[in-house]
Amino acid sequence: MDKELFAAAKDVRQRAHAPYSRFHVGAALRTEAGTLHTGANVENASYPEGWCAETSAIAHMIAAGGNDAARRIVAVSVVADRIEGRLTTPCGGCRQRLAEFAGPDTPIDVIDPSGEGQTFTLRDLLPSAFDMEGR
């Protein structure tokens, strides 16, 4: 587990906007350039219009600008409560969004707020990612 990413994801999780589900999620990612970006889930009354924490972190990365290395994700941490004892992994859409900027061997730490969790690779979570460039 990447302790710096865990701490950042746990911190930003507290600022999630989740008035409908009350389910707060934080995400932090590190780029190949070494920059760290965070995001929290942002719900909306028009339910499908909300953003997941991973999507928010990716948006922050893109908005920050930079060269190609600043847009390549090399590590991710997602912090959320467990659901019926199970870790909360990124949703399918976020898995595909991560695949846009990360390689199949990118580690994704999925952690509960107490610090317990598991590390997956993006390939574990999305074994047949859609890829327009054939990477």
Per-residue burial over 51-72, b if 16 or more Cβ lie within 10 Å, else e, is bbbbbbbbebbeeeeeeeebbb
Which residues have a catalytic role annotated? 54
- The answer to whether 120 and 108 have CB atoms below 8 angstroms apart is yes
Structure tokens, 78: 């997602």
* Helix/strand/coil for 78: strand
